[in-house]
Structure 1
Amino acid sequence: MYKNKGKLLAILGFVGALALTGCAERGASNAAASNGTSGQAAKAGAAGVGEQVKYEIIGIDPGAGLMKQTAQALKDYGLTDWKLVEGSGAAMTAALDKAYKDKKPIIVTGWTPHWMFAKYELKYLQDPKGTYGKDEEIHTVTRNGLNQDAPSAYALLDRFEWTPDEMAVVMSAVTEGKKPEEAAAQWVKDNAAKVDAWVKDLAKEEGKKLKLAYVAWDSEIASTNVVKQVLEQRLGYKVDLLQVEAGPMWAGIADGSADAVVAAWLPTTHKDYADKYKGKFEDLGANLKGTKLGLVVPTYMEITSIEDLKTK
């Protein structure tokens, strides 16, 4: 009996050992499978991004120079399977917000300064071919003859200059719910010393009318409203704002139906318009430096370059 019991125990021990071995092997197999899946996911981060975003790049208004550059980027990088989706700046940021909240991949056309870089963790895709060019500047452009017709306004526009950080204060206030004119008025109040320098020794021209044209980009809404506030509060002008697309904005300056813009992106974004209307406007130079254009993605996406979008 004891001998049979000993055999039984030996058999049970052997079976237990086999079970443990099987568990260990399954554990190792599962771990390997898990690691393999993670590895594949990591590799698919770049290779599968096209399918993940349906081969779409979310753009802005079709007349923008940024859209033209992006269309050229698709050609330069051989992205024949990709589509550039036209829309507006507001539609682009709405799509970005939705994707970001869900931690889903998305590729948008972006530019700096823009409030989205303060709200979300984003990055530009590297542009090794240089399609988007060097960093740009935002210029102030006036119609010919403004210097004679409204000398104080012309002088202010010539002096107007601020930084991306200062612009971001106004943009952020607007995105948080303030009306553009209210956000601009608050900035003018909080930066009285800077504004004093812009209007120093300039005569008031009470009631004289001016028209400022601008494109509906958050950056241009901010700058145009700040200039409007200073012209009205400090120099007595009556200012009308004309929100238009880029083409009509430049055409308005060229034909005199608008007096000035502080929203001219040069030398690349608005190059075609500047060339088209050469001699029909006056460029007062940069009012903001440190801009950038390109394709933008959330930092949680693994891709780093436009070249990563190529179909493998």
Structure 2
Amino acid sequence: MFNLNWKRFGMVAGLSLTLVAAGCGSSEDEGNETTGDSEGGESSSEEVNYGEELNYEITGIEAGAGVVATAETAVEEYENLSGWEVSTSSSGAMATALGEAVENEEPIVVTGWTPHWKFAKYDLKYLEDPKEVFGGEEQIKTMVRQGLEEEKPNAYKILDQFNWEAADMESVMLEITNGTSEQEAAQNWISENQDKVDAWTEGTEEVDGTEVELVYVNWDSEIASTNVIAEVMREQGFDVTITPLDNGPMWESVASGEVTGMVAAWLPGTHGDLYEEHKDSLEDLGANLEGAKIGLVVPEYMDVDSIEDLKPAE
């Protein structure tokens, strides 16, 4: 009986120790399993290395564009963008690359801005910018050469009164993108928004062939706005020429008085440096569109929400 009890005690004790060990082992295993899941999650996240898939390139537009320069600054400011580069091309090439990526549901990071038809066509998002490198909202402003008000007051007044909203611009942009000619898309918008056009021409007189030259950077947004205001001025009797230029020459031509003006000045960020360089040699007529924005843009299906979610080059 005594020996049997000891035997039972030994069995119970052994079983208890086994359970305790198992319990400890289970706890540790669970801990390891949790850590494993966590590490597995990180590993999984690391496996979806968008940077590696993109060869650590941000698809930009024209070299010299403010949004490109700011993206280059972001690459320097964000440690996690170490090894990344901003690849310059053109706004058209950027839009083509974006469209191809979206069609194939592939990752892409582009220099983006609003207003732009791509936001009406694709499901996109701006990456959060915790360091505020890209700044806040921008304005698109009208700049004219000095002396225009005295020499061509009707042209001056129409340009001064030109003002519309992002939705207006994007509707023209999207129509052009869908195949309508730039001039026809502008004319269509004018016929559908005569009340706004009347406000731009209010207090002006029709002219007979007064020459006006407007310049613009070859962005979809500025193609839309410049064609619209050009058509409005043509209806008032002006002989209007519109000329696409790179950013620097666009500002220089207005500041030097070679051309009448532009409705394509993105401030304070995108064209900030150019404005500082030329502001004393031209006249700022103020904003023709509020609420513009620049930043890094990705398709909604990409599992990143912030610039800081991107990974550095290895």
Which band: TM-score by shorter chain?
0.7 to 0.9
Letter in 2 for 1:62: A
Which residue number in structure 2 is paired with residue 248 of structure 1?
A: 249
Whether the 8 Å contact between 2:49 and 2:311 is mirrored in structure 1 is no
C-alpha distance in structure 2 between counterparts of 1:278 and 1:195, whole Å: 28
Deviations 1:71-109 (A, max 9, x none): 000000022211110100000011111111111111100
Match of 1:198 in 2: 200
Q: In structure 2, what is the equivalent of residue 287 of structure 1?
A: 288
Q: In 1, distance between residues paired with 2:206 and 2:65?
A: 36
2: distance between equivalents of 1:278 and 1:123? 33
SS of structure 2 residue aligned to 1:81: coil
In 1, Cα distance between equivalents of 2:40 and 2:215: 52
Cα distance in structure 2, aligned partners of 1:282 and 1:108: 33
**What is the match of residue 227 of structure 1?**
229
Describe the superposition over 1:217-247 as per-residue Cα deviations: whole angstroms up to 9, x where unpaired. Answer: 11100000000001011x2000001100110
- 1:121-136 to 2 correspondences below 5 Å: 121-136=123-138
C-alpha distance in 1 between matches for 2:86 and 2:208: 47
Q: Distance in 2 between matches of 1:74 and 1:94?
A: 23
Q: Percent identity?
A: 46
Provide the C-alpha distance between the structure 2 equivalents of 1:73 and 1:257, rounded to a whole number of angstroms. 35
Specify the alignment match of 1:115 in structure 2.
Answer: 117
Deviations 1:49-88, CA, capped at 9 Å, x for gaps: 1111111100000010111100000000022211110100
Pairing 1:150–2:152 present:
yes
Q: Which residue of 1 aligns with 2:32?
A: none
C-alpha distance in 1 between matches for 2:194 and 2:43: 54
CA contact 2:117–2:170 (8 Å) conserved in 1: yes
Shift of 1:41: 7.6
Partner secondary structure for residue 126 of structure 1: coil
In the alignment, residue 148 of structure 2 is paired with which amino acid?
Answer: L
**1:169 shift after superposition:** 1.1
Asked if the contact 1:209/1:239 (under 8 Å) is kept, the reply is yes
In the alignment, what sits opposite 1:43?
45
The answer to whether the 8 Å contact 1:77/1:310 transfers is: no
Q: What secondary structure does 1:285 align onto?
A: strand
| 2:213/2:243 contact within 8 Å kept | yes
TM-score, normalization by structure 2: 0.85
Report the secondary structure of 1:278's partner residue.
helix
Distance 1:207 1:85, change over 3 A: same
Give unmatched runs, 5+ long, in structure 2. Answer: 1-36
Does the 8 Å CA contact 2:186/2:227 hold for their aligned counterparts?
yes
1:168-179 pair list within 5 angstroms:
168-179=170-181
Pick the aligned partner of 2:83 from 76, 81, 84.
Answer: 81
